[in-house]
Amino acid sequence: MPGKRMLQRVDTNGDGAISKDEMLAARERMFTKLDRNDDGVIDEKEIEGARDAIMDRRRRASCAWRGPIWRRRSRLLHSMKRR
């Protein structure tokens, strides 16, 4: 559940709610993460780098999900159709 994951990441004091201070701190961490060269601004190159990293992560997750178990399941379903 995406909302639960966000709560776990941002709710630093573990009270089950996100305060304004916790949200501002999360935004600051995100800015720092995106500003790869620490110049205080996020430029197009840094945004593209972040987008590429997200897409790579999605591709890896998709490949992992379609790993050996997926192939065995596909073969099993295929063999059942032949019967």
Q: Are 46 and 82 in the same domain?
A: yes
Q: Are 48 and 82 in the same domain?
A: yes
Q: Are 53 and 81 in the same domain?
A: yes
Give the pLDDT score at 20.
97
Q: Are 69 and 53 in the same domain?
A: yes
With a cut of 50, list the residues of the chain below it in pLDDT.
Answer: none
CA distances from 53 to 17, 25, 32 (A): 29, 22, 16
Q: Are 56 and 79 in the same domain?
A: yes
Give the pLDDT score at 6.
87
Domain span holding position 63: 41-83
Give the pLDDT score at 24.
97
Q: Are 49 and 16 in the same domain?
A: no
Q: Are 47 and 72 in the same domain?
A: yes
Of 54, 72, 51, which is closest to residue 62 (Cα–Cα)?
54
Encode pLDDT of 58-69 as tens digits: 888 877 656 655
Number of domains in the chain: 2
What percent of the chain lies above the pLDDT cut of 90? 58
Q: Are 29 and 46 in the same domain?
A: no
Distance of CA 8 to the CA centre of its chain: 14
